[in-house]
Amino acid sequence: MSLQRYLLNGWLRRVEKPRMVRAQTPEPLRRAFEFQAKLLFHAPRGTTQRWTKLAHLPALEIVPKHVAANPLTILYFHGGGFTFGSPRTHAAMVAQLAYRLGARAILPQYRLAPEAPFPAAPDDALTAWNALVAAGTAPRDIVIGGDSAGGALAFGLLADLCAKGAALPGAVFGFSPLTDMTHSGESFQKNADCDVLLPAIRADRMGQMFLMQHPPEDPRVSPVFGKFEGAPPIWITVGDTEILHDDALSLSQVCQRDGVDVTLVEQHDLPHVWPIFHNILPEAKESLDSLAAWIRQQRDRPGES
Protein backbone atom coordinates (compact mmCIF):
# COMPACT_ATOMS: atom_id res chain seq x y z
CA MET A 1 0.00 0.00 0.00
CA SER A 2 1.14 3.50 -0.78
CA LEU A 3 2.31 6.21 1.60
CA GLN A 4 -0.48 8.38 0.18
CA ARG A 5 -3.04 5.83 1.36
CA TYR A 6 -1.60 5.92 4.88
CA LEU A 7 -1.66 9.73 5.01
CA LEU A 8 -5.11 10.02 3.47
CA ASN A 9 -6.61 7.49 5.87
CA GLY A 10 -5.20 9.46 8.80
CA TRP A 11 -6.69 12.72 7.54
CA LEU A 12 -10.08 11.14 6.88
CA ARG A 13 -10.17 9.55 10.32
CA ARG A 14 -9.14 12.72 12.18
CA VAL A 15 -10.99 15.36 10.15
CA GLU A 16 -13.72 14.06 7.86
CA LYS A 17 -15.22 11.28 9.95
CA PRO A 18 -15.68 13.58 13.00
CA ARG A 19 -17.21 16.20 10.69
CA MET A 20 -19.80 13.65 9.57
CA VAL A 21 -20.53 12.69 13.18
CA ARG A 22 -21.03 16.33 14.22
CA ALA A 23 -23.27 17.32 11.34
CA GLN A 24 -26.87 17.63 12.52
CA THR A 25 -28.16 18.70 9.10
CA PRO A 26 -26.82 18.08 5.57
CA GLU A 27 -25.88 21.72 4.92
CA PRO A 28 -22.35 21.70 6.40
CA LEU A 29 -21.55 18.46 4.61
CA ARG A 30 -22.82 19.90 1.34
CA ARG A 31 -20.69 23.03 1.68
CA ALA A 32 -17.56 21.14 2.70
CA PHE A 33 -17.84 18.55 -0.07
CA GLU A 34 -18.38 21.16 -2.79
CA PHE A 35 -15.38 23.18 -1.59
CA GLN A 36 -13.09 20.17 -1.29
CA ALA A 37 -14.06 18.82 -4.69
CA LYS A 38 -13.28 22.13 -6.36
CA LEU A 39 -9.96 22.36 -4.53
CA LEU A 40 -8.71 18.78 -4.73
CA PHE A 41 -10.20 17.02 -7.74
CA HIS A 42 -9.45 17.92 -11.35
CA ALA A 43 -10.62 16.56 -14.67
CA PRO A 44 -8.15 15.76 -17.48
CA ARG A 45 -7.10 18.70 -19.62
CA GLY A 46 -9.38 19.40 -22.52
CA THR A 47 -12.49 18.05 -20.76
CA THR A 48 -15.64 20.05 -21.38
CA GLN A 49 -18.53 20.21 -18.95
CA ARG A 50 -21.95 21.72 -19.52
CA TRP A 51 -25.33 21.63 -17.87
CA THR A 52 -28.11 20.02 -19.85
CA LYS A 53 -31.47 18.39 -19.20
CA LEU A 54 -32.69 14.80 -19.05
CA ALA A 55 -36.40 15.43 -19.48
CA HIS A 56 -37.01 17.94 -16.64
CA LEU A 57 -33.93 16.85 -14.68
CA PRO A 58 -30.75 18.98 -14.64
CA ALA A 59 -27.65 16.98 -15.52
CA LEU A 60 -23.95 17.66 -15.97
CA GLU A 61 -22.59 16.39 -19.29
CA ILE A 62 -18.87 15.60 -19.50
CA VAL A 63 -16.99 15.13 -22.76
CA PRO A 64 -13.25 14.33 -22.85
CA LYS A 65 -10.87 15.93 -25.34
CA HIS A 66 -10.82 12.82 -27.50
CA VAL A 67 -14.04 10.88 -28.02
CA ALA A 68 -14.12 7.41 -29.54
CA ALA A 69 -16.13 6.56 -32.61
CA ASN A 70 -19.56 5.31 -31.52
CA PRO A 71 -18.79 6.29 -27.92
CA LEU A 72 -20.29 4.84 -24.79
CA THR A 73 -22.36 6.98 -22.45
CA ILE A 74 -21.69 6.72 -18.73
CA LEU A 75 -24.81 7.44 -16.70
CA TYR A 76 -23.44 8.13 -13.23
CA PHE A 77 -25.21 8.67 -9.92
CA HIS A 78 -23.16 10.46 -7.24
CA GLY A 79 -23.01 9.36 -3.61
CA GLY A 80 -23.64 11.31 -0.42
CA GLY A 81 -26.13 9.38 1.66
CA PHE A 82 -29.04 10.72 -0.42
CA THR A 83 -28.57 14.04 1.41
CA PHE A 84 -25.42 15.69 0.04
CA GLY A 85 -23.05 15.53 -2.91
CA SER A 86 -23.80 16.67 -6.45
CA PRO A 87 -22.67 16.15 -10.05
CA ARG A 88 -19.99 18.77 -9.39
CA THR A 89 -18.43 16.85 -6.48
CA HIS A 90 -18.00 13.72 -8.62
CA ALA A 91 -17.42 15.29 -12.03
CA ALA A 92 -13.61 15.04 -11.97
CA MET A 93 -13.60 11.33 -11.08
CA VAL A 94 -16.15 10.50 -13.76
CA ALA A 95 -14.22 12.64 -16.24
CA GLN A 96 -11.13 10.57 -15.50
CA LEU A 97 -13.06 7.41 -16.38
CA ALA A 98 -14.58 9.01 -19.48
CA TYR A 99 -11.10 10.08 -20.61
CA ARG A 100 -9.83 6.50 -20.35
CA LEU A 101 -12.73 5.25 -22.44
CA GLY A 102 -13.19 8.08 -24.91
CA ALA A 103 -16.77 8.14 -23.63
CA ARG A 104 -19.18 10.90 -22.77
CA ALA A 105 -20.65 10.95 -19.28
CA ILE A 106 -23.77 12.43 -17.78
CA LEU A 107 -24.46 12.96 -14.08
CA PRO A 108 -28.08 13.67 -13.14
CA GLN A 109 -28.75 16.16 -10.37
CA TYR A 110 -31.26 13.99 -8.58
CA ARG A 111 -33.25 15.48 -5.73
CA LEU A 112 -31.84 15.17 -2.21
CA ALA A 113 -33.39 14.54 1.19
CA PRO A 114 -34.67 15.85 3.50
CA GLU A 115 -36.11 18.42 1.07
CA ALA A 116 -37.13 15.63 -1.33
CA PRO A 117 -37.36 12.27 0.44
CA PHE A 118 -38.09 8.87 -1.08
CA PRO A 119 -39.14 8.19 -3.83
CA ALA A 120 -37.63 11.33 -5.37
CA ALA A 121 -34.11 9.98 -5.95
CA PRO A 122 -35.03 6.61 -7.53
CA ASP A 123 -37.75 8.33 -9.57
CA ASP A 124 -35.14 10.76 -10.88
CA ALA A 125 -32.78 7.88 -11.69
CA LEU A 126 -35.48 6.25 -13.81
CA THR A 127 -36.28 9.59 -15.45
CA ALA A 128 -32.63 10.02 -16.40
CA TRP A 129 -32.45 6.54 -17.94
CA ASN A 130 -35.69 6.93 -19.87
CA ALA A 131 -34.65 10.36 -21.16
CA LEU A 132 -31.32 9.06 -22.45
CA VAL A 133 -33.00 6.19 -24.27
CA ALA A 134 -35.78 8.41 -25.62
CA ALA A 135 -33.15 10.80 -26.98
CA GLY A 136 -31.75 7.99 -29.13
CA THR A 137 -28.93 6.50 -27.06
CA ALA A 138 -29.01 2.74 -27.50
CA PRO A 139 -29.37 1.01 -24.11
CA ARG A 140 -26.43 -1.32 -24.90
CA ASP A 141 -24.26 1.80 -25.34
CA ILE A 142 -25.03 3.04 -21.81
CA VAL A 143 -22.93 2.03 -18.80
CA ILE A 144 -24.62 2.82 -15.49
CA GLY A 145 -22.45 3.57 -12.46
CA GLY A 146 -22.60 5.01 -8.99
CA ASP A 147 -20.88 5.17 -5.63
CA SER A 148 -22.21 4.72 -2.10
CA ALA A 149 -25.85 5.93 -2.13
CA GLY A 150 -25.42 6.53 -5.85
CA GLY A 151 -24.56 2.86 -6.10
CA ALA A 152 -27.91 2.09 -4.47
CA LEU A 153 -29.57 4.16 -7.20
CA ALA A 154 -27.55 2.54 -9.99
CA PHE A 155 -28.24 -1.04 -8.94
CA GLY A 156 -31.75 -0.15 -7.79
CA LEU A 157 -32.44 1.19 -11.28
CA LEU A 158 -31.08 -2.03 -12.75
CA ALA A 159 -33.34 -4.10 -10.51
CA ASP A 160 -36.31 -1.96 -11.54
CA LEU A 161 -35.53 -2.37 -15.25
CA CYS A 162 -35.13 -6.13 -14.82
CA ALA A 163 -38.47 -6.36 -12.97
CA LYS A 164 -40.23 -4.46 -15.77
CA GLY A 165 -38.63 -6.48 -18.57
CA ALA A 166 -37.29 -3.22 -20.00
CA ALA A 167 -34.26 -2.67 -22.18
CA LEU A 168 -31.04 -2.95 -20.18
CA PRO A 169 -27.67 -1.16 -20.22
CA GLY A 170 -24.49 -2.72 -21.53
CA ALA A 171 -22.87 -2.90 -18.06
CA VAL A 172 -23.20 -1.57 -14.52
CA PHE A 173 -20.51 -0.71 -11.96
CA GLY A 174 -20.32 0.50 -8.38
CA PHE A 175 -17.70 2.02 -6.10
CA SER A 176 -18.36 1.00 -2.46
CA PRO A 177 -22.10 0.77 -3.14
CA LEU A 178 -24.77 1.02 -0.47
CA THR A 179 -27.07 -1.91 -1.25
CA ASP A 180 -28.90 -2.73 2.00
CA MET A 181 -30.61 0.05 3.90
CA THR A 182 -31.53 -2.38 6.68
CA HIS A 183 -27.78 -2.42 7.48
CA SER A 184 -27.94 -6.13 8.22
CA GLY A 185 -24.39 -6.92 7.07
CA GLU A 186 -21.92 -8.01 9.72
CA SER A 187 -19.35 -5.50 8.50
CA PHE A 188 -21.64 -2.62 9.45
CA GLN A 189 -20.77 -3.25 13.09
CA LYS A 190 -17.50 -5.15 12.73
CA ASN A 191 -15.86 -2.35 10.71
CA ALA A 192 -17.44 0.56 12.58
CA ASP A 193 -14.11 1.52 14.17
CA CYS A 194 -11.76 0.71 11.29
CA ASP A 195 -13.77 2.49 8.58
CA VAL A 196 -11.84 5.75 8.28
CA LEU A 197 -14.69 7.79 6.82
CA LEU A 198 -18.25 6.57 7.35
CA PRO A 199 -19.66 6.76 10.90
CA ALA A 200 -22.04 3.85 11.40
CA ILE A 201 -23.79 5.73 14.20
CA ARG A 202 -25.09 8.32 11.72
CA ALA A 203 -26.52 5.87 9.19
CA ASP A 204 -29.95 5.47 10.78
CA ARG A 205 -30.47 9.22 11.03
CA MET A 206 -29.48 9.75 7.40
CA GLY A 207 -31.68 6.88 6.33
CA GLN A 208 -34.66 8.32 8.20
CA MET A 209 -34.20 11.67 6.44
CA PHE A 210 -34.43 9.88 3.13
CA LEU A 211 -36.91 7.03 3.67
CA MET A 212 -39.42 8.88 5.89
CA GLN A 213 -40.93 5.62 7.19
CA HIS A 214 -40.83 3.90 3.79
CA PRO A 215 -39.71 0.25 4.13
CA PRO A 216 -35.91 0.02 3.71
CA GLU A 217 -36.26 -3.29 1.87
CA ASP A 218 -37.49 -1.57 -1.30
CA PRO A 219 -35.18 -2.87 -4.10
CA ARG A 220 -35.04 0.59 -5.69
CA VAL A 221 -32.76 1.69 -2.83
CA SER A 222 -31.80 -1.68 -1.29
CA PRO A 223 -30.95 -3.70 -4.39
CA VAL A 224 -29.94 -6.78 -2.36
CA PHE A 225 -33.71 -7.39 -2.18
CA GLY A 226 -34.07 -7.22 -5.96
CA LYS A 227 -33.91 -9.79 -8.75
CA PHE A 228 -31.42 -9.54 -11.59
CA GLU A 229 -32.18 -12.34 -14.06
CA GLY A 230 -30.97 -11.26 -17.49
CA ALA A 231 -28.89 -8.36 -16.16
CA PRO A 232 -25.71 -7.30 -17.97
CA PRO A 233 -22.23 -7.81 -16.48
CA ILE A 234 -21.56 -6.07 -13.18
CA TRP A 235 -18.32 -4.74 -11.64
CA ILE A 236 -18.08 -3.78 -7.96
CA THR A 237 -15.17 -2.64 -5.85
CA VAL A 238 -15.08 -2.21 -2.07
CA GLY A 239 -12.57 -1.97 0.76
CA ASP A 240 -12.31 -4.70 3.38
CA THR A 241 -12.37 -2.14 6.23
CA GLU A 242 -15.53 -0.37 5.08
CA ILE A 243 -18.81 -0.67 6.94
CA LEU A 244 -20.36 -1.28 3.50
CA HIS A 245 -18.05 -4.22 2.77
CA ASP A 246 -20.85 -6.74 3.22
CA ASP A 247 -23.22 -4.62 1.13
CA ALA A 248 -20.96 -5.24 -1.85
CA LEU A 249 -20.51 -8.92 -1.05
CA SER A 250 -24.23 -9.49 -0.59
CA LEU A 251 -25.14 -7.79 -3.85
CA SER A 252 -22.50 -9.83 -5.64
CA GLN A 253 -23.99 -13.03 -4.22
CA VAL A 254 -27.53 -12.02 -5.17
CA CYS A 255 -26.48 -11.27 -8.74
CA GLN A 256 -24.54 -14.52 -9.03
CA ARG A 257 -27.62 -16.34 -7.73
CA ASP A 258 -29.54 -14.85 -10.65
CA GLY A 259 -26.93 -15.91 -13.20
CA VAL A 260 -25.27 -12.53 -13.69
CA ASP A 261 -21.58 -12.18 -14.61
CA VAL A 262 -20.13 -10.34 -11.59
CA THR A 263 -16.60 -9.04 -11.02
CA LEU A 264 -16.01 -8.20 -7.35
CA VAL A 265 -12.76 -6.41 -6.53
CA GLU A 266 -11.96 -6.26 -2.81
CA GLN A 267 -9.10 -4.01 -1.71
CA HIS A 268 -7.31 -3.81 1.63
CA ASP A 269 -7.54 -0.76 3.89
CA LEU A 270 -8.64 1.73 1.26
CA PRO A 271 -11.19 4.42 2.16
CA HIS A 272 -14.79 4.57 1.09
CA VAL A 273 -15.06 5.39 -2.63
CA TRP A 274 -11.30 5.80 -2.97
CA PRO A 275 -11.38 6.35 -6.78
CA ILE A 276 -12.59 9.89 -6.05
CA PHE A 277 -9.07 10.59 -4.73
CA HIS A 278 -7.53 10.04 -8.18
CA ASN A 279 -5.37 13.16 -7.79
CA ILE A 280 -3.89 11.76 -4.57
CA LEU A 281 -3.93 7.96 -4.48
CA PRO A 282 -2.07 5.73 -6.92
CA GLU A 283 -4.55 3.01 -5.96
CA ALA A 284 -7.38 5.23 -7.21
CA LYS A 285 -5.77 5.55 -10.62
CA GLU A 286 -5.23 1.79 -10.73
CA SER A 287 -8.90 1.17 -9.94
CA LEU A 288 -10.04 3.54 -12.68
CA ASP A 289 -7.64 1.87 -15.12
CA SER A 290 -8.98 -1.57 -14.19
CA LEU A 291 -12.60 -0.47 -14.51
CA ALA A 292 -11.96 1.13 -17.90
CA ALA A 293 -10.31 -2.08 -19.13
CA TRP A 294 -13.28 -4.12 -17.88
CA ILE A 295 -15.78 -1.84 -19.62
CA ARG A 296 -13.86 -2.14 -22.88
CA GLN A 297 -14.00 -5.93 -22.53
CA GLN A 298 -17.78 -5.81 -22.20
CA ARG A 299 -18.01 -3.63 -25.32
CA ASP A 300 -15.85 -6.13 -27.22
CA ARG A 301 -17.86 -9.20 -26.25
CA PRO A 302 -19.15 -11.22 -29.22
CA GLY A 303 -22.53 -9.98 -30.28
CA GLU A 304 -21.96 -6.47 -28.92
CA SER A 305 -21.56 -3.46 -31.14
Which of 78, 183, 187, 242 does the annotation list as catalytic?
Answer: 242
Give me the catalytic one of 16, 90, 148, 283: 148
Q: What is the DSSP string of 213-282?
A: T--TT-TTT-GGGS--TT---EEEEEETTSTTHHHHHHHHHHHHHTT--EEEEEESS--TTGGGGTTT-H
Contact 162, 168 (CB under 8 A): yes
Q: Where are the alpha helices (DSSP H) in the chain?
A: 3-11, 17-22, 27-40, 87-101, 120-134, 149-164, 187-190, 203-211, 245-257, 282-299
Is 148 known to be catalytic?
yes
Which contiguous run of DSSP H or E holds residue 76?
Answer: strand 73-77
Is 42 known to be catalytic?
Answer: no
Contacts of 115 (CB under 8 A, 6+ apart): none
Show which residues are catalytic. Answer: 148, 242, 272
